[in-house]
Structure 1
Amino acid sequence: MLKFFKEMNTDPISVIISTYNAEAWLEKVLWGYEAQTFKNFEIVIADDGSGPATKELLSSIKKQVSYKIVHVWQEDEGFQKSRILNKAIVASSYNYILMSDGDCIPRKDFLQVHADYREKGYFLSGGYFKLPMDISQKITKKDILEGKCFDIDWLKKNGLKSSFKNSKLTAAGSKASFLNKVTPTNASWNGHNASGWKEDLLAVNGLNERMQYGGQDRELGERLFNYGIKSKQIRYSAICVHLDHARGYKTPESIAFNVAIRKEVKENKIYWTPVGIQKD
């Protein structure tokens, strides 16, 4: 049993990263994956209609990193993140998928934590540590590769204020496990830091493409629950820092529309979306 567990934890991971016209942030994120201690992975870029600059960045950085990058792109038709994520799921090579965003730099043990905690019948729910804009802009490639942007002392020297939330970066081992258990935050599917088995994502037909910004990731997790999949909380173990940015695509209408869909999913125990990877 122990031998199987160790073998499973070395199995490859497909990392899906969503992006849209944010090359400066995406480059920082990709250097974060170069620093990973877990090396058996590919990156699948889910590009929701970015211009040529993103393609140029990926063409350049592919020559500098040690991992495989697959670029999945679609025409810009407004916020269609669910659609491009579904295309990225199909394009992914491996049986285990981690989803994150092009504004979340992973700590060096990020993938190893997901690999260690993964288990059949579960998905993993992580969080992020949000940085202000001035610190987000200061972070360099060197800071990422050396892990400085995860060091609380370095962050405080660069203007980070003291907060209980800082414990996300300082907790380790048994303390992190304890905080994972006692946190009141639900172990939901969070698009910036969540992972699960590709067969489970296909079984619920991926993301609901009717949904715009605001909860489409949570709705995926709720359908996984309805399908019988459970979740594990790893928000204090799988660490990424979130770079600041504007959210011009968030509207009251999109939020209300998505809330109604999620209410229907919960009340009727729906697990399959008819507007997902397969179209009914």
Structure 2
Amino acid sequence: MSAVSVIVSTYNQPDWLEKVLWGFNCQTYKDFQIVIADDGSKKETKELIEKIKEEVDYEIIHVWQEDNGFQKCEILNKAIVASTSDYIIMTDGDCIPREDFVHVHYLNKEDGTFISGGYYMLPMNISKAITKEDITKQNCFNINWLKEKGLPKTFKNNKLTAKGFISRLLNTFTPTNASWNGHNSSGWKKDILNVNGFDERMQYGGEDREFGERLFNFGLKSKQLRYSAVCVHLDHKRGYKTPEAIAKNMVIRKEVKQKKSVWTHYGITK
């Protein structure tokens, strides 16, 4: 049994998923499995996974469901059940992890807490330009390499350049609260099961936050690692982001806050 299960969500983005899976093959900490939470991708994704299973040095479990619109919460719950480790990291199939990504989560795990990481958003031209070699050499985390490709200079660049004391300082003073972020968070499987996983009524927009709010209500604290647990986020369109879905999600989140709910009746256990 692996020490860590990494759940990677995906939907019809095999080119991006391949880059992410190569990123996990470069990890300095190796005792993990990957569980791909696939919300109904076509055969190209399955073919990619079958091919890459032969090329990487970690176990891959592919959990797939029929395409029935945006059902990310449902497939995440299925992936949680399929995972075999006591500790779970969750990320997305468009986020390439830096080589220390799993190790940082593993070292910082602590009873009674979950970890909230960050991401660095890349523009489309750089997202496309990243090759397997750039991932192996970690060029896509090298600020000078990214600037050569046209990356603008902003404060967010600290996410890629901060090390040691500076990254710990920025983690402490970042104005963003340490919520559960679907692209980069981790927690104990027992805690995830204790709140019954994700609320499957939730559509795109805040579904991960709602899950985190129930973890808080359960008594967990969160640990901010935005500048230590680093991944770069590849660009893509968001066709499933609708005002109706966001409004519906806000109603559910409001109720969770008011009732201080811990359990969802629309989660893993029905």
What band does the TM-score fall into relative to the shorter chain? over 0.9
The TM-score, its normalising length taken from structure 2, stands at: 0.99
Which residue of the other structure, out of 47, 53, 64, is the alignment partner of 1:62? 53
C-alpha distance in 1, partners of 2:202/2:162?
35
Aligned runs of 1:165-244 on 2, under 5 Å? 165-244=156-235
Cα deviation, 1:151-180, whole Å, max 9, x if unaligned, reads 000000001000011010000100000000
Aligned equivalents of 1:218 and 1:225: distance in 2? 10
* 1:32 lines up with 2:18 in the alignment: no
Determine whether 1:20 maps to 2:11.
yes
Task: Summarize deviations over 1:165-197 as a string: whole Å, max 9, x none.
Answer: 101000010000000000010100000000000
1:198 is displaced (CA, Å) by: 0.2
Q: What SS does structure 2 have at the residue aligned with 1:108?
A: coil
Provide the aligned length of Structure 1 versus Structure 2.
Answer: 269
The whole-number CA distance in structure 1 between the counterparts of 2:262 and 2:243 is 26
Matched, 1:278 2:269: yes
% identical equivalent positions = 66
Divergent runs of 4+, >3 A: none
Once the two structures are TM-superposed, the CA of residue 221 in structure 1 deviates from its matched residue by: 0.4
User: Which runs of no fewer than 5 residues in structure 1 stay unpaired?
Assistant: 1-10
For residues 266 and 250 of structure 2, the distance between their equivalents in structure 1, rounded to whole angstroms, comes to: 17
Matched residue, 1:143: 134
SS at match of 1:266: helix
AA aligned to 1:115 is: Y
User: Structure 2: which amino acid aligns with 1:53?
Assistant: E
CA distance in 2, matches of 1:24, 1:262: 33
3-state DSSP class of the match of 1:90?
Answer: helix
Cα offsets for 1:53-73 (capped at 9, x unmatched)? 111000000000000000000
Alignment-mate amino acid for residue 140 of structure 1: T
Question: When the two structures are superposed, what TM-score results if normalisation uses the length of structure 1?
Answer: 0.96
Query: CA RMSD, aligned part only?
Result: 0.6
Query: Which whole-Å CA distance do the structure 2 matches of 1:164 and 1:45 have between them?
Result: 33
Q: Which consecutive unaligned segments of at least 5 residues does structure 2 have? A: none
